[in-house]
Amino acid sequence: MAPAILWYRRDLRVHDLPALQAAIESGGDDGVIPVFCFDDRLIHGRFASARRTGYLLETLKALDERWHDLGGRLWWRHGDPSKELAKIVDDTGATEVHATEDVTAFARARDDRASNAIEAAGATLHLHPGLAIAADLDAIQTQGGKPHIVFTPFSKVWAQQERRQLIKAPTSLHTPRGNRGDLPTLADLGFDAADAKVEDPPEPGEIAGVHHAGQWADGKLASGGLAKYEDLRSDLPSQTSRLSTYLHYGSLSPLLAERLVLDAGGPGSATFRNELAWRDFYLNVQRQFPHTATTEFQEKYRALKWEHDDEALQAWKDGKTGYPVVDAAMRQLNATGFMHNRARMVVASFLTKDLHLNWREGEAYFMHQLLDGDLASNNGGWQWTASTGTDPAPYFRRMFNPTLQQKKFDPKGEYVRRWCPELAGVPDKLLPEPWKMTPEQQADAGCVIGDDYPEPIVDHAEERGHAVERYQAVSAG
């Protein structure tokens, strides 16, 4: 026999990994060579991010430690995966390479190239499930045999689809001796370590991810976990699950996450499972409609004329729009690399329907800042809010009033005051619209509008009307 190669991408775990199980079976006593290849086309592509690259390196360190504890070690390569994997095949005599199937157009083209190079070197590339909860996204179809473009009917079929069996983590692993290579630093990859720093990041790695998921599902976290999810999931001060980063890097199997939630039960279980279904839905959108990675799904909205305003865009990025809930959310993102899902919708609506700026600007900034930045979910979420994507609803139903959103989901101002401390002294009643304070009230609050905190850069009511005109004009055309 010969060792098998496991090609890691965004499935950085040893538990519930069909590709690893297949590699163990095919490698036998000769073992498994786990390889991660740093591909500059991704690392420095259109969504380059020092933050995500830094967290990736920490996650890989944790994965290497996991392999070491089980008797193996990771191999590192930097370059075109097609060439690097072919070299390893040639050097080791491996006849099989196993990997987790991905869905994006980039990933599928990459895998086609790698498959050809690996085959030329004398081995075969095998792709396995594990990225999504559903083992076969292609099988989730309408009665007419077409992909679902509306979430609710997709989720109903998805929920009924039989799941593959969860795979336990191996108790031991063996990696043959060879040229492991070196794990690069951020500087080696062309990033400044200072640009990767965030406040209080999740502990990296699958041990931390699985533990956190279990604690959250069992209600053992200070936030109350899954038991309080139904009631608190939209409240901005709440912590929600914070599993998205682990799911993005594959440190936590999405199938295990679903199983933990189902086993826990309770009213929050079905609600959170529905959120996991959204993740699979957007993965499927990228698989079935790869052009949506760069283009509006709804053809009529490709004619929308987006405005260009660098000052407004920068104010939005910096959290200086004058709308407290928008500013708090953007400052949370900038500081932590995370943003509450409700807040993501609010700031996306503000960018696209109050400032009338291209959703791609927001998509790119999120991907630059978010630790959990995922092409499918991020693109799907931005197109959802911009009303250009799948799961179509009337555009006017997705025009979030930031003042009302703050009153409803941060009524005591905890979230806003946490991220906009200059508003700390503003009374609850005035906090959603601090520009309406009288000079005396501003003095009492220690916050002068236009000085300590910015005036609103737009009038929401006016811009909502402008947005309606823009969308109506395109719809009528």
Just list the catalytic residues: 275, 278, 306, 341, 359, 382
DSSP secondary structure of 387-398: T-SSS---GGGG
For residue 291, the one-letter residue type is H
Instruction: Tell me the CA end-to-end span of the chain in Å, nearest whole number.
Output: 64
Reference 96, options 121, 131, 73; nearest CA is 121
Tell me the CA distances in angstroms from 248 to 33, 210, 374, one per residue in order: 23, 13, 6
Give the C-alpha separation, 341 to 54, whole Å: 23
Count Cα neighbours of 298 within 13 Å in the Cβ-side half-sphere. 22
Contact criterion met (CB below 8 Å) for 31 and 59: no
What distance separates the 2 farthest-apart alpha carbons in the chain? 82
Residues for the chain: how many in total? 477
Q: And the tokens for 136?
A: 């076969």
Which distant-in-sequence residues (6+ apart) come within 8 Å of 267 by Cβ?
230
Reference 279, options 206, 369, 372, 370; nearest CA is 372
Give the C-alpha separation, 366 to 382, whole Å: 10
Contact criterion met (CB below 8 Å) for 98 and 19: yes
For residue 115, the one-letter residue type is S
Give the C-alpha separation, 182 to 190, whole Å: 16
Contact criterion met (CB below 8 Å) for 96 and 124: yes
Give the C-alpha separation, 407 to 430, whole Å: 10
DSSP secondary structure of 284-349: HHHHH-GGGGTS-SSGGGGG---B--HHHHHHHHHT-SS-HHHHHHHHHHHHHS---HHHHHHHHH
Question: Which three-class secondary structure state does DSSP give residue 247?
Answer: helix
Q: And the tokens for 170?
A: 């191996």
